[in-house]
Structure 1
Amino acid sequence: MSTINYSEKIPNNVNLGEDRTLQRALEGWQPNFINWWDDVGPDGSTNYDVYLRTAVSVDPQGWAQFGHVKMRDYRWGIFLNPGDANREIHFGDHKGEKAWQDVPGEHRANLRRIIVTQGDTEPASVEQQRHLGLTAPSMYDMRNLFQINVEEGRHLWAMVYLLHKHFGRDGREEAEALLHRQSGDVDNPRILGAFNEKTPDWLAFFMFTYFTDRDGKFQLSALAESAFDPLARTTKFMLTEEAHHMFVGESGVSRVLSRTAAVMNELKTDDPQKVRAAGAIDLGTIQRYLNFHYSVTIDLFGADQSSNAATFYSSGLKGRYEEGKRTDDHILKGQTYKVLEVKDGQLLEKEVPMLNALNEVLRDDFIKDSVAGVGRWNKVLEKAGIPTRLTVPHKAFNRQIGALAGIKMSPEGRVVNEQEWAAKKSEWLPTSDDFAFVASLMGRVIEPGKFAGWIAPPVMGINRQPVDFEYVRFG
C-alpha cells in the first residue's frame, strides 16, 4: 500500500521532504491557496465539522479514511499512483520508448498548456458551487457538495505540484495565475466556457456533476495515458476521486425524478403547473436543464477537427480514452473518422483524418457513457409508471465551438431557421421562469434525516452510515 506521509506540512507520497527547494515553493503557495478558499470557497462553512473522506493511501482498496473535519483543515496534498520503472509509451510517434520522467524540451509548452487548462477547471467548479451550501436540500447533500469541493481543491494541488516541479519559473507563475482567475469574472475569467457558467441551484449542480464531471473523467483518462509519467500517475489517482462526483450527479437527478414521479402519481397528472404547485420539479424543466448542461459540456471537448489534438496524440502527450483496450496500431496515420458539418441546410457526415478528429473521438466516447446514465434515469420513471422519457439532445444542438458553432438545430437534430429557433428556444433550454421556479424551491434543510420536498432521500447513506447520520456539525 502506498501510504501518504501526514507528518509533513503538505501530505504527500512524492518524498517532498527530499526536495527542499520544491517544498519551500509549495509551502509559499499554500497560504495563497487557503486565502483563495476563504474568499471564494464554500460560503459560510468555516466552522462546520464535515464528515469527509481523506486519502490515506493511493491503494484503490484502502485509500480513504472518513471522519469529521473542518474543511479549512482538510489534508490537501500531493498523491501520485505508484510508478512503474519499465513503463513504455504505448501510442504516437514515440511508441515503444521509455516513458518520460522529465519534460522533453520540445513538448514543454504543450504539456504546460494541458496541465494549466486541466488545473484551471478545478478551482473554477468550487467557485461556481460556492453558495450552494446555503440552499442544501439535506445535510446528506450538503456533505456530498463539500466532499466534491475539497477534492476539486486537491486536484488543483495535483496540477500545481506538476507545474512547480517540472516547469521552473513559468510553472510558478502559472500556479499563481490559477488562484487569480475567477469563474465568470469579466476581466479574468476561467479558461473554458462551461466553467464560467453559473451553478445557481441544486438541479444545475446535479446536472453539472453528472455531465461536466464526466467530461473530467474522459479528459483525465486521456491524460492518464500520457508519455509524461508524472502526469499519467497524477491523473490516475484523480480518477479515483472523480467517480464520487459523478455518483452525486447521477443519484441526485434520480432522486429528483423519483420525487417528481411520486407527486405526478399522487395527483394523477402530468400538468407541469400542477406538479410545480405541489412543490416538485416538472419533467419539462428537468429536460431543459439536461439539454443545457449536456450541450455546454460537449463543447468542452473542443473543435471537431483540431491540429492540436493531432499533435498531442502523435507527441505522446494525451492518448484516447482506454487507449490500451483499442486494437488499432495506436499511431493512426492514414486512418479516418466521421465528423458532422452543415451544408445547404443539411447535416452531413464527412470523413477526416482520425488524428485531427481525436476531440470528436473523445466526445463520442463521452456521449455513449452519458446516454447510458440517462437510460438509468428513465428506469426511475418507468418503475413509477410514468410514460415520459428523458432524452439526450443531438450533438449539434446549442453548440458554441467547432464546425457546429452557432448552427440552429432542434434537440432531435433538425436544422431550423432563426424564426423557429426563437419560437421554440423556451421549450428546449431553461428560461428565466424555470430558473426562478427552481430557485423558489431552494430552501435549506439541515435537520438530520430530513429532505426538501422536491427531492427523495437516498437509498443509503455515506460509508455505511444511516441516512439520518449527522454528516455536518454546525459550529
Structure 2
Amino acid sequence: MPESIDYDAKIPNNVDLSSDRRLQRALEGWQPKFMNWWGEMGPTLRTQGVYLRTAVAVGRAGWAHFDHVNVPDYRWGIFLAERDPGRTIAFGEHKGEPAWQQVPGEYRADLQRLIVIQGDTEPASVEQQKLLGLTAPSLYDLRNLFQVNVEEGRHLWAMVYLLHAYFGREGREEAEGLLFRNSGSPDTPRILGAFNEETADWLAFYMFTYFTDRDGKYQLGTLKESAFDPLSRTCEFMLKEEAHHMFVGTTGVDRVVRRSAELMREHDTADIAAHHGIPLDIIQKYLNFHYTVSLDLFGSETSTNAANYYTAGLKGRWQETRRKDDHLLTEDSAFLDRPGEDGTWTQEEVQALLALNLDLRTEYIADCETGVKRWNRILDEHEISYRFSLPHPGFNRKVGAYADFHITPEGSIVDEATWEANRGRWLPTAEDLAFVRSLMHPVYERGKIASWIAPPSNGINGKPFDFEYVYFD
C-alpha cells in the first residue's frame, strides 16, 4: 500500500481502489449521496476559498498540504496508514497471532457494529455545527471550523470504505444509514446521545472539540489496537487528523478564558457580561455540561460487551502495547466507586475485563485535567483566584452506575429536590445560553476578532492571525 495518495482518481485513495472495480463502482455510487448530504447538512455559510490542509501522504512527516480550497470541491477520500506486514495481535485470546486482513466470520456482526457506531459520530458533528459559520468570531476561527468539518467528513469516508470493502450487502446498507440518520432528528437521531445535542454557539463548539472530540481520540485509540488490521490502520491515520480538532478546543477555551480574565482586570469586576465578556461561572457551567455528556459516551462502567470485544481482539485498551500486564486480564481486578441509596459511597471490586470502559474513562479524565490546569494558569497570570474544575464523574450522568442518582459536582449524593434547586448553579440555564448567543456576532474582517475572545498566539501553518484565511464572494 503506497504512503502517497492518488489524487487523480475520482475518489482519492491509497488503497489501490482501481484494482477492485466492483468496490470502486459501489463507492462511486455512494459519493454523490455524500455530496448531497454535505450540501444539505454541511456548513450553511458559503465561501469562495478556505485555507485548508489536505492529506497528501500518510507518513509521519510532510503528510499535509495547505492552500485555499472551495469547500464543496474538497477532495474527500480513503487513507489508511501504512501496513506493518509483521503486525501481530497484542491482546485477548488471539494474542500473538498475525493481525487479520479479512473479517473472521464469527466476529463479523460485532466488528460491523463497532464501525457503524464510530462512523455515525463523524457526520453528526458536522450537522451539529452547521450554522456556526454564520457567527464566527474571526476568519481564523472560521477556517478552523471548516477544517474540522471537512475532516469529519473524511472520517465518515474512512468508515464507509470499511463497510463497503469488508461487509458486503449489509455493510453497504449500513453506509446508507450513516447518511439517513441526522443529529437531533426526532425520528432518525444519531446513535449516541452527545451527537444529538445542539451546538448553537462558539463556546459550545470549543467545549465540544475539547471534551467530545477527546472522547473520539480515546475511542479511536482502542480501535487502533484492533486485530482487524484495516480498521487499525484507518484509525491510526484518523488520530493524526483528530489532534487538530482537540487543538481547536483547547486553544479556543484558552482564548475565551484569557479574554474574560482581561475584562475582569480592566473593569475590576467578575460581572463582565455588561462588557461583552463571558463570566467565568458560565464557562464552568458549559464545562460541566460538555464534560458529563462526553463521559456518557464511554458507556457503562462494567460491560460484558467490552469484555467480549477485548477477549476476541476487536477493541483494545488505550496504548495497549505499553501496558505491563499479560494482555488477557482474566486474573486482574479493578475498583468501582458505587453510590448507595443511603447517600454513601462504597468501593466494589470487579473483574478488570468487565471494567474496560472504566479503564478508558479514567485515562480520558486524566487527559481532561490537563486542559483545566491550562485554564487555571491563565487565571493565575491575571491574578484571579477563581478556579475551574472537572465535576465528579457521577454528576449529571444518563448512562452507567450513576444514571439513577443525583450527584453534585463535588460528589455528594442528594435528593431530587436538592438537585433541581441547584441545577441552575451547575449547568447552563436558558438565560445563560441566551446571553452567550447574544454575543455571537460574526467578524469576517481580516485581522479583527469578536469582543468575547482573545486572538490566538499563533496562526495556522506559520501564517499570521491577520492572514486572509477565508475568501468570500
| TM-score class, shorter | over 0.9
CA deviation map 1:307-341 (0-9, x unaligned): 00000000000000000111010000021111122
> Structure 1, residues 245-298: CA drift from partner, whole Å, max 9, x if none?
00000000000011000000011112x3xx000000000000000000000000
Query: Unaligned 5+ residue runs, structure 1?
Result: none
- 1:307 paired with 2:308, answer no
For the residues of structure 2 that align with 1:301 and 1:441, how far apart are their CA atoms?
33
Amino acid in the other structure paired with 2:87: R
Q: Which residue of 1 aligns with 2:137?
A: 137
Deviations 1:210-255 (A, max 9, x none): 0000000000011000000000000000000000000000000000
Q: Is the 8 A contact 1:261 1:386 kept in 2?
A: yes
Match of 2:348 in 1: 350
RMSD of aligned alpha carbons: 0.7
Corresponding residue number in structure 2 for 1:409: 407
Residue equivalent to 2:453: 455
Q: Residues of 2 paired with 1:301 and 1:430: CA distance?
A: 23
- State the match for 1:21 in structure 2: 22
In structure 2, the partner of 1:236 is 236
For 1:254, the equivalent position in structure 2 comes to: 254
Q: State the number of aligned residues.
A: 471
Report the AA paired with residue 16 of structure 1.
L
Q: How far apart are residue 48 of structure 1 and its match?
A: 2.5
Q: Whole-Å Cα distance in 2 between the matches of residues 238 and 120 of structure 1?
A: 15
Distance (Å, rounded) in 2 between the aligned partners of 1:60 and 1:85: 18
Checking the alignment, whether the CA contact within 8 Å between 1:83 and 1:233 is kept in structure 2 is yes
State the match for 1:472 in structure 2: 470
Q: Taking structure 2 as the reference length, what is the TM-score of the superposition?
A: 0.99
After the TM superposition, list the runs of 4 or more consecutive aligned residues in structure 1 that deviate by more than 4 angstroms: none
Task: Kindly provide the amino acid, as one letter, of the partner of residue 138 in structure 1.
Answer: S
Q: Tell me which amino acid in the other structure corresponds to 1:472.
A: V
Please show how residues 157-196 of structure 1 align to structure 2 within 5 Å: 157-196=157-196
Match of 2:379 among 381, 388, 406: 381
Alignment-mate amino acid for residue 2 of structure 1: E
Check the 8 A contact 1:398/1:406 in 2, yes or no: no
Secondary structure of the equivalent of 2:242?
helix
Q: Within 5 A, what are the aligned runs for 1:243-282?
A: 243-270=243-270, 272=271, 275-282=272-279
Give the Cα separation in 2 of the matches to 1:171 and 1:180.
14
Question: In 2, Cα distance between the equivalents of 1:158 and 1:396?
Answer: 34
CA distances 1:17-38 after superposition (whole Å, capped 9, x unpaired): 1000000000000000000000
| Counterpart for residue 211 of structure 2 | 211
Aligned amino acid, residue 204 of structure 1: A
1:433 aligns with 2:431: yes
Deviation at 1:417, TM superposition (A): 1.2
- The amino acid of 2:305's aligned partner reads N
Shift of 1:384: 1.0
Q: Which amino acid aligns with 1:8?
A: A
Query: C-alpha displacement at 1:44, in angstroms?
Result: 2.7
Q: Distance in 2 between matches of 1:266 and 1:87?
A: 58
Q: Distance in 2 between matches of 1:450 and 1:44?
A: 19
Partners of 1:397 and 1:44 lie apart in 2 by 36
Query: Counterparts of 2:230 and 2:297 in 1: how far apart (Å)?
Result: 24
SS at match of 1:53: strand
**C-alpha offsets along residues 363-407 of structure 1, whole Å, 9 cap, x if unaligned?**
010000001111111111111111101000000000100111031
**Aligned position for 1:35:** 36
Q: Is residue 84 from structure 1 mapped to residue 81 from structure 2 by the alignment?
A: no
Q: What's the secondary structure of 1:356's corresponding residue?
A: coil
Determine the C-alpha separation between the residues in 1 that align with 2:212 and 2:37: 23
Residue matched to 1:44: 45
Kindly state the Cα deviation for residue 419 of structure 1 after the two structures are TM-superposed. 1.6
Identical pairs, percent: 61
SS at 2:353's partner residue? helix
Q: Deviations over 1:155-199 (max 9, x none)?
A: 000000000000000000000000000000000000000000000
Structure 1 counterpart of 2:369: 371
Q: 1:98: how far off?
A: 0.5
Residue 266 of structure 2 aligns to a residue in which SS?
helix
Residues 116-125 or 344-353, more deviating? 344-353
Q: Does 1:70 align with 2:67?
A: no
Instruction: Report the AA paired with residue 283 of structure 1.
Output: L
1:293 matched to 2:294? no
| Alignment-derived partner of residue 111 in structure 2 | 111
- How far apart, CA to CA, are the structure 1 residues paired with 2:336 and 2:23? 45
Does residue 3 (structure 1) correspond to residue 4 (structure 2)? The answer is: yes
348-357 or 388-397: bigger deviation: 348-357
Partner amino acid for 1:202?
W
For residue 406 of structure 1, give the secondary structure of its aligned residue in structure 2: coil
SS in 2 for 1:351: strand
Letter in 1 for 2:35: I
Distance 1:39 1:52 in 2: 21
Matches within 5 A, 1:303-342: 303-342=300-339
Q: Unpaired segments of 5 or more residues in structure 2? A: none
Q: Partner letter of residue 11 of structure 1?
A: P
In the superposition, the TM-score normalised over structure 1's length comes to 0.98
The separation in 1 between residues aligned to 2:69 and 2:13, in whole angstroms, is 19
Q: In 2, Cα distance between the equivalents of 1:38 and 1:162?
A: 24
SS at 2:69 equivalent: strand
d(CA) in 2 for partners of 1:54, 1:187:
35
Shift of 1:85: 1.2
